[in-house]
Amino acid sequence: MVDKFLSFALLAGCTKDHPITFSMGSSAPPLGELNLPPLLLCIAENDLVIDTEMEYYEAMKKTNKEVELSAVD
């Protein structure tokens, strides 16, 4: 189901690994090289993609980005 929704957001021919939908994929620039402002990452504990969201949070922390996590029920 998530893949179907992603297909609506992307241009024809793009895959779910596109940098817009998967910022840690091989097509995306390395997070460590990006100049990003502080980020508040809000996630829902019952979200279908919570594993990916947590992976993103951990990747941001690993590259010393200023990120705060807020999880809600």
pLDDT in tens, 37-70: 999 999 999 998 899 899 999 999 999 999 999 9
Is this structure's pTM higher than 0.75? Answer: yes
pLDDT tier, 27 (very low <50, low <70, confident <90, very high otherwise):
confident
Give me the domain span that covers residue 28. Answer: 2-72
The predicted structure's pLDDT at residue 68: 98
**How many percent of the chain have pLDDT more than 70?**
100
Domains held by the chain: number: 1
Integer Cα distance of 43 and 13 in angstroms:
29
pLDDT tier, 24 (very low <50, low <70, confident <90, very high otherwise):
confident
